[in-house]
Structures are given as structure tokens and as C-alpha cells.
């Protein structure tokens, strides 16, 4: 059985350090160039959707099932068959869905921007308020935090537990502070922790009693059908239904897209919410746009056909992703188990593995990996303002490299974790 690094004597640590430094030099000589910075689908995943490009050509019938011409104006909220497809993916009713362009992040930005300039369903525009605050479960999605930072919104860290955000803290802020206007959530296979919210957490969300009438839950269900395994899959409660039951029908916006299902640059995205919220959103959309790309919506609808087609397609993605995730997880287990210098969660879906180093080591690990040619998401990126108060969280994105490259990158990663940990422990002994 391995001895934990913290239990080693100074001389033992120095011996370990010398061996690790020799291994580091060997890795350096390999001249690796691997990028795990973002959750980009790999080339083999992109190839899965290439037949979609053949679904429509110059001879195709371009009308929707209702007979609307997708080449022309109309269908501001998206063509019916694509709204139904996205509604089924998001587990909501079609009438509660608006299909937009290729990016759900764009919808989230617009939703915050609209609240800043026009308020929420007639409330005071946020730009006219002295203070606007957002709750941010951490570690979380860096691009969420960039949106609220851009608009000068104060962000408050909410620790993530194994079943979701710390709801005691969420309730304390939301129910008592009228300046708290929203919370970012990735409820299923969270970015980056991979955990899914429990039934209790979701029910507590739905039963919040906000001090602000314009408080909204920003429910980014980005990985709603992104399972890694056929036999072990997370399922979560329907937040829209739970909010309706709790008498808070307007309290949530749900976002999703096909970015990691079809093509990240050319998918379709959607927002789902109460009918009252949807009406308010569309009142701006009529000014903002004539409509989104209906030909692309038609292409997606004809290629996937229905929710069963989507799910079958996602099984193909899972077959490609699973070996990459397992290369990382097996390496972490084999190389770090028992050393007590890091912790991680084995996700059942999504796109990331979250790793916690010893406090104060994340930036060092990321820098060491970069020097060996392995690029990771920057240390601190999973926290608002890019500041991890304990400098310990690292997001690993296994999707883009091949399984073989991922195994090599994992070896580099664990080497750097070991070396940074030994350096920290020795520094504490000085």
C-alpha cells in the first residue's frame, strides 16, 4: 500500500522529487503538443454528423411539415418540427420553446443583456439599479462567469456539494437579498465537476422565495442527453414542472443546444420557459431579428427525426468519448490513489473531469503541464473573475485528443501533480 506524501519525511520527499525531476526531463524530450483546454468534440465525433450535410440539397422540398417555406421569412420562434425536437430533448412542451441560432451561450448573453436594458417582464432595468448580484456555484463554467462579469454584475461564490449547490447558502441569499437577480446552474453532468443535482436540490430551487420579483434561475442543461454509459445514467427532475408546482412558473430559464451533438459551430440552440417569459423574450426578438436559420433547423430535424434519433446519435458519441475519459480516470486511480495529493469525481456523462490538487498547487500543475506540451484550462478559470481562492481546481477536457494522446497527456498530468505536491510539502517544511 502506498504511503501518503504528507506522511513522508523530508529526506523521503527529496528522494521522490529527484526521481520525478528525472521523469520530467524524459517527458520534456518527447516534445508533446496536446490541447485539453476546452471541451471540443474530436474529429471522429464531428464525422458522425457529416451525413446531415446531404439531407438537404438544391432539389429538396424546403417546406416545413406545416407547409412554411424555410427559405423565406416567418417562424420567429423556430420551425415546428425543430421546436418539438428541442422540446423533447429538454423535457418540456413545444409551446414553451424558442429555437434560436447556433449558440446557447448567445441566448444566455441576450437574456442577461435584455434584463440590463429592459428589465424582466416589466421590472426595473438592472442598469438603473445600484447593485445587481448573481450566485455562482463553484467550480463552474467560465463562460457563464464572463457574461456576468462583462455587465459589471457582482458574483458570489456558492460551494458545490456532491448533489448540487449549497442550498442553505442559496436560500439565504435569494430569499433575503433583493439585489440577487440570478444564479448560474449546469444541473446535469455539471461543468466541470460532472455531478448531477439531486431531487432535493431541484425541489429546493423550485420552492425558493426570492426577495427580488425579477430573480431567475439560469438553468443551462447543456448535457441533458450526454451520457457516457448505457447502463448507468443520471436523470434529474424537470425544473420547469417543479417551479409550476411550487407556484413559481416564471422563475427559470432553461438553455440547451446541439453544439456537442451535431456541429459545435453550426448546431441549433433553444430557450425554454413559462409562456409569460417567452412572450416577453419574443417582444425583443421581433426587433432584434427577422428570424434564425430555418434551413439549418430543417436540416437538423430531418437528420435526427425525433428524440429517439437524437439518443441513438448520442450513443455513438459516448462510444468515442468513453475510452478517453477512462484513460484519464484509470491513470488517476493507478498513479495517485493513496498518495492523498488530489481528488476527483468519476462522471457518468458530460464533457469534463474536475480535479482538485492540494491547496496552492493548481497553477503550478497547469504551468508544468504547459511546459511539457500539454495545455489545460487555466487555473482559476472555473471561478468568477478567474480567482480560485484555494488555487486547487483544474478542469480536464478529454474530448479532443485521441484515446492514445489522452493516455499520454494523463501521464504528464499525474507527473506534474506529483511534482507540484512534493514541492509544496517541502516548502512547508522549510
For 211-236, write each residue's pLDDT tens digit: 999 999 999 999 999 999 999 999 99
How far, in Å, are 105, 192, 271, 275, 310 from residue 262 at the CA level?
Answer: 16, 21, 18, 28, 10
Q: Which cell goes with 205?
A: 430551487
Average pLDDT, whole number, for the chain?
97
Q: Count CA within 13 A, CB hemisphere, residue 415.
A: 24
> Predicted confidence band at 37 (pLDDT cuts at 50, 70, 90)?
confident
* DSSP label at residue 40: P
pLDDT score recorded for residue 430: 77
The 10s digit of each residue's pLDDT in 258-283 is 999 999 989 999 999 999 999 999 99
Top-level class of domain 5-45+311-429: alpha beta
The 10s digit of each residue's pLDDT in 348-395 is 999 999 999 999 999 999 999 999 999 999 999 999 999 999 999 999
Are 141 and 191 a contacting pair, CB within 8 Å? yes
pLDDT score recorded for residue 16: 96
Are 366 and 395 a contacting pair, CB within 8 Å? no
pLDDT score recorded for residue 32: 86
> Predicted confidence band at 62 (pLDDT cuts at 50, 70, 90)?
very high
Are 40 and 397 a contacting pair, CB within 8 Å? yes
Q: Where are the domains of the chain?
A: 5-45+311-429, 63-305
Share of the chain above pLDDT 70, in %: 100
> Predicted confidence band at 108 (pLDDT cuts at 50, 70, 90)?
very high
pLDDT score recorded for residue 94: 97
pLDDT score recorded for residue 260: 96
> Predicted confidence band at 302 (pLDDT cuts at 50, 70, 90)?
very high
Q: Is the dihedral of CA 4, 5, 8, 14 positive or negative?
A: positive
pLDDT score recorded for residue 258: 98
Place of cell 424558442: 98
> Predicted confidence band at 112 (pLDDT cuts at 50, 70, 90)?
very high
Per DSSP, the three-state class of 225 is coil
pLDDT score recorded for residue 34: 87
Whether a cis peptide bond, with omega within 30° of 0, leads into 299 is no
The 10s digit of each residue's pLDDT in 148-188 is 999 999 999 999 999 999 999 999 999 999 999 999 999 99
289-290-295 Cα angle (round to 5):
110
Pairwise CA distance, residues 352 & 161, whole Å: 17
Fold of 63-305: 3.40.640
- Res. 403: pLDDT tops 80: yes
| DSSP secondary structure of 88-115 | HHHTS-GGGEEE-SS-HHHHHHHHHHHH
Which of 1-5, 113-117, 323-327, 392-396 bottoms out in mean pLDDT, i.e. has the lowest? 1-5
Q: What is the mean pLDDT of residues 281-301?
A: 95
Q: What is the mean pLDDT of residues 16-38?
A: 92
| Cβ within 8 Å of residue 135, ≥6 positions away | 155, 156, 158, 165, 170, 173, 174, 180, 182, 183, 184
Q: Count CA within 13 A, CB hemisphere, residue 83.
A: 18
The 10s digit of each residue's pLDDT in 133-153 is 999 999 999 999 999 999 999
How far, in Å, are 60, 74, 88, 300 from residue 295 at the CA level?
Answer: 11, 12, 20, 9
Pairwise CA distance, residues 217 & 206, whole Å: 9
pLDDT score recorded for residue 36: 84
pLDDT score recorded for residue 88: 98
Q: Is residue 1 packed enough to be buried (19+ CB in 10 Å), middle (13-18) or exposed (0-12)? A: exposed
How far, in Å, are 13, 108, 119, 159, 178 from residue 132 at the CA level?
Answer: 49, 17, 12, 20, 9
pLDDT score recorded for residue 57: 97
Are 346 and 396 a contacting pair, CB within 8 Å? no
Nearest residue to 325 (alpha-carbon basis) of 297, 293, 353, 294 = 353
Pairwise CA distance, residues 345 & 90, whole Å: 25
Pairwise CA distance, residues 143 & 255, whole Å: 14
Farthest-apart Cα atoms in the chain, separation = 78
> Predicted confidence band at 26 (pLDDT cuts at 50, 70, 90)?
very high
Pairwise CA distance, residues 318 & 324, whole Å: 10
Pairwise CA distance, residues 381 & 367, whole Å: 14
Share of the chain above pLDDT 90, in %: 96
Place of cell 484509470: 330
pLDDT score recorded for residue 298: 98
Calculated CA dihedral for residues 328, 398, 350, 225, nearest 10 degrees: -120
Are 345 and 354 a contacting pair, CB within 8 Å? yes
Amino acid at each position: 500500500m502506498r504511503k501518503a506524501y504528507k506522511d513522508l519525511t523530508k529526506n523521503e520527499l527529496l528522494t521522490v522529487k529527484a526521481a520525478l525531476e528525472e521523469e520530467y526531463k524524459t517527458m520534456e524530450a518527447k516534445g508533446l503538443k496536446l490541447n485539453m483546454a476546452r471541451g471540443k468534440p474530436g474529429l471522429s465525433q464531428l464525422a458522425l454528423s457529416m451525413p446531415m450535410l446531404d439531407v438537404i440539397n438544391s432539389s429538396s422540398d424546403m417546406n416545413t411539415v406545416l407547409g412554411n417555406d424555410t427559405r423565406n421569412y416567418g417562424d420567429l420562434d423556430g420551425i415546428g418540427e425543430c421546436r418539438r425536437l428541442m422540446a423533447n430533448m429538454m423535457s418540456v412542451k413545444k409551446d414553451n420553446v424558442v429555437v434560436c441560432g447556433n449558440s446557447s451561450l448567445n441566448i444566455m448573453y441576450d437574456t442577461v443583456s435584455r434584463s440590463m436594458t429592459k428589465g424582466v417582464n416589466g421590472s426595473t432595468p438592472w442598469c438603473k439599479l445600484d447593485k445587481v448580484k448573481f450566485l455562482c456555484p463553484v467550480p463552474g463554467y467560465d463562460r457563464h462567469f464572463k457574461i456576468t462579469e462583462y455587465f459589471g454584475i457582482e458574483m458570489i461564490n456558492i460551494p458545490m456539494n456532491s448533489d448540487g449547490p449549497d442550498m442553505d447558502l442559496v436560500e439565504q441569499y435569494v430569499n433575503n437579498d433583493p439585489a440577487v437577480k440570478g444564479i448560474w446552474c449546469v444541473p446535469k453532468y455539471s461543468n466541470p465537476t460532472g455531478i448531477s443535482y439531486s431531487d432535493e436540490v431541484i425541489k429546493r430551487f423550485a420552492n425558493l422565495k426570492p426577495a427580488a420579483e425579477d430573480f431567475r434561475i439560469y438553468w443551462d442543461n447543456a448535457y441533458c442527453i450526454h451520457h457516457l454509459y448505457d447502463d448507468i445514467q443520471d436523470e434529474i427532475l424537470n425544473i420547469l414542472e417543479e417551479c409550476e408546482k411550487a407556484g413559481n412558473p416564471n422563475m427559470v430559464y432553461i438553455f440547451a443546444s446541439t453544439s456537442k451533438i451535431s456541429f459545435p459551430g453550426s448546431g441549433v440552440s433553444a430557450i425554454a420557459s413559462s409562456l409569460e417569459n417567452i412572450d416577453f423574450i419574443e417582444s425583443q426578438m421581433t426587433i432584434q431579428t427577422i428570424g434564425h436559420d430555418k434551413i439549418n433547423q430543417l436540416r437538423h430535424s430531418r437528420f435526427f427525426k425525433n428524440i429517439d434519433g437524437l439518443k441513438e446519435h448520442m450513443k455513438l458519441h459516448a462510444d468515442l468519448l468513453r475510452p478517453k475519459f477512462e484513460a484519464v480516470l484509470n491513470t488517476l486511480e493507478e498513479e495517485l490513489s493513496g498518495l492523498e495529493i488530489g481528488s476527483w469525481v468519476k462522471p457518468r456523462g458530460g464533457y469534463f473531469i474536475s480535479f482538485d490538487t492540494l491547496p496552492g498547487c493548481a497553477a503550478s500543475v497547469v504551468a508544468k503541464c504547459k511546459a511539457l506540451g500539454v495545455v489545460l484550462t487555466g487555473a482559476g478559470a472555473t471561478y468568477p473573475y478567474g480567482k480560485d481562492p484555494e488555487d486547487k481546481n483544474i478542469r480536464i477536457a478529454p474530448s479532443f485528443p485521441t484515446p492514445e494522446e489522452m493516455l499520454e497527456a494523463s501521464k504528464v498530468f499525474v507527473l506534474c501533480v506529483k511534482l507540484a505536491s512534493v514541492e509544496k510539502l517541502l516548502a512547508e517544511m522549510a
